[in-house]
Structure formats: structure tokens, C-alpha cells
Amino acid sequence: MSNIIDRLFEDAKTQLPNDNPNNIPGWPATPSDDQESTKEFLGGDDDKLTPYSEYLNDTNVANSVANRIGGPSDIRAPSQKDREIIAGGIRANGFEAIAFYKSKRFIVSKPFPGKWGIFYIKQGLDEIAWEISNQYPGYSDTKKLARDFLYEHEHYHFQSDIQVLMFEVLLNKHLYAPLRRALRGKRSHFVEEALANKRAYEWAKGRNVGLKEFAYDFMSLQPNAYSRFEEPRNILAGEWLSNVIDLLPPGSNPRLDLASWVGAVPKDLMRASLCPEYVIYSQKLENWIDPAWNLPPVKTVVDDLKVIKKLKDPKESSLAKKWQITKSKLMSDRLLGGLGFKRWPKEGPNIYSVKVDDGFRAHLQDQGAGNWLAIKIGGHKEMGHG
């Protein structure tokens, strides 16, 4: 039986001209090293798709990985191999590495022809639930918290889809599909990801301090537009309009004249039940996430002379102790979300950044074979992190 969303798309289809797949906005070329892979990761034939409610009721006991890495006994963690792939995927592709929204417009396309809505990759849900439980042991029902966190981001894409549909009918032209064709290989630069992360961050802030910290650290790991979630909403919304309505590339001047329109979607179209949710039980995570980039191993961390000199200052005794703890954590499990361990290309191709505490970060140089040199330590703004 069709619902209001089904009818909305069906009515729009009768009013719009046929979409030309060759209709791609002509944008200036961007540097090749700033582009993502254009290869599509659409799963495998053996993957199982279930409604989200079935995953929530899955009460299998924790596997040996969760126990081995010290995780909570009631939360399953992915294998170490999958954790590596997830960590690299989030840092390279943001939220969409572990959850994504598929528009009803593309219902006949892969993945899962005949289905549309929000799709969560099971290993991703498990990893987020485990991370929350590990960092904040007092939280209950972390499986649902993980879903709710990812849902806020992905449901924003659903909201945007509906709003663009309204623009298309008003302007009598296709906008959604041509924009996404132009964004292929540049999706992480699309400001809609910043707005979606902003929605998820605001949701987390409304829960408690711990979840706010988790959300901030998680989003700060993500690339390009994903990491812009703290920018003023009207600026982000205006840039989104320049992308969507004018089909201009990411980074274009914002349409501030229309920024207040963004989010103006009738509430009866935003009911949670109208957007289907599924969990993908992936048999092979590499079929969904590009495994080409992983965080390098961390076996040793040596401080260079500048860092040693700074930490010897009696005024920095507290920072020196925290840095020793951070180094131990890095060598124990560099994938921990609270470390915020990520590439920092602003200072060179082999430079990485790690969080020491809420006020300080350190930059490290990868010297290969698991050996690292700490080259800089200081406050967030001093280190260029805003």
C-alpha cells in the first residue's frame, strides 16, 4: 500500500520531464589527490538485509573480539580486520562508510533493487555501539544509541531529498540526480554532509555531555565537508542552495537570500515511519567499504627535541602526564574514537594528529614500520584545529 511519500514521488514524476543521464553540471576540475574513488561498493550476493527492528532484537552474546580488546560483554564488536576497514572508511568517506541513504528515485538501482531508505551496515552499528560502551560504560542500550546517532545524519538526507523534490516541481527541472552525478568522486565535499552532521551533533548535545564528546570526536575524524559541522547553519544552508538550485560546485558563494528555506519541509512528511530502515548483514565488509586506506600501525612513539623541551617546562607537567597516557593508548589501540587519530595533510603527507585532551593535540610523523616521531604538541587553535 502506498503512503504519502510514495504518492509524492509518483506525482512529481508525472510533472517532471524525463531525466537525461548525460545531464551533468560542468564544474572545474579539482586536483586528483583531492578526489575520492569513483568505484562503487555495492555489497555481495550473500549479504542479508533485514528491517532495523530485527537487528535491535538480536541478542547474540559478544564475540571473542569484544572480550579480547576489553569491550563490554553485552556488545559485539566487529573483527579486528573489520575495525581497521571501518576506521579507514570513516576517515576517508565519513558517515557514509557505515550508513547511507538511498533515494526512492533510485529504487530500481543497486544496492538492493526494490528497496529505498536508510541502510546501516551491521559491523558499523556494532562498532559505534561498542565505542560508546567502551568510552562511557554507564550508558545503557548503546545499540539503540548507535542507531539513533546514525539515523539523525541519514534522516537529514531524506529530508533534503524531499525538499529538493519540491524545488524540482517548482522549477520543472531535475536537480537531485544531475548534482549527484557531478559529485561522483567528490561526495565528501558536498555541504549537505556538514548539515547532516550538524543535525546529528545537535541531537547528541541534547542527550548528555558524554555523547556530545563522542559525537564531536567521531565527526572530527571525518573528511572535508563532514568536518564543517560547527560552521554557522545559515552559511552551510546557503552553500547547499547554491549546489542544489544553481548546480554550482562545492565551495560556491552561499545563497543567503534563500537560506531560511532550508529545512522548510512539512512535518507530516518527516514522520519516522515514512522512511524505511534496514540493516545489512555483510558477509565481506570490503564489498561495502574501500579497504585501500588503513591507519598505519603504532608500535613506538618518540618525542623530538622541541616536544621534549616543551614538556620539561614545570608549567606543562600536567600536559606531559596526559601525553604519556595518550602515547600508551595509541600503541595499545590506535582505532579508539576518543583519540581522534587521523591524517593531517596540512603539514605534510606523513603527518597525523591525535587528541591529548579537550584542549590539546599532538602531531606525529609516520616514519614507517610502526615508528612515529612526535613533532609538535599544543592547544587546538595553536595546532590549526580551530
- Could you read off the pLDDT of 304-324 as tens digits, one per residue? 999 999 999 999 999 999 999
Q: What is the DSSP letter of 18?
A: P
Output the pLDDT for position 254. Answer: 97
Crossing angle of the two packed helices 122-135 and 80-93, in degrees rounded to 10: 90
Q: Rounded to two decimals, what is the model's pTM?
A: 0.91
Do 165 and 158 meet the contact criterion of CB atoms below 8 Å apart?
no
Angle at 52 between CA 48 and CA 57, to 5 degrees: 95
pLDDT at 72 over 50: no
pLDDT at 107 over 80: yes
Residue 14 within any structural domain of the chain: no
pLDDT range class, residue 34, cuts 50, 70, 90? low
pLDDT at 197 over 90: yes
- 374 & 270 share domain: no
> What's the average model confidence in pLDDT over 178-204?
96
Please give the grid coordinates belonging to residue 315: 608549567
Output the pLDDT for position 385. Answer: 84
Q: What is the extent of the structural domain holding 70?
A: 20-25+38-285
117-155 pLDDT, tens digit each: 999 999 999 999 999 988 888 777 888 999 999 999 999
* Spatial distance between the Cα atoms of 370 and 366, rounded to a whole number of angstroms: 8
- 181 & 318 share domain: no
- 208 & 120 share domain: yes
Q: Per the structure, how many domains does the chain have?
A: 2
Do 88 and 82 meet the contact criterion of CB atoms below 8 Å apart?
no
153: which residues sit within 8 A by CB, 6+ positions away?
95, 99, 196, 197, 199, 200
Window from 204-208, 343-347, 358-362 with minimum mean pLDDT: 204-208
- 264 & 308 share domain: no
- 280 & 319 share domain: no
Residue 192 within any structural domain of the chain: yes
* Spatial distance between the Cα atoms of 263 and 104, rounded to a whole number of angstroms: 19
CATH code of the domain containing 325 = 3.30.2310.20
> What's the average model confidence in pLDDT over 55-69?
48
Going by C-alpha positions, the residue among 49, 40, 45, 50 that lies closest to residue 184 is 40
- 95 & 228 share domain: yes
pLDDT at 70 over 90: no
- 254 & 315 share domain: no
- 93 & 226 share domain: yes
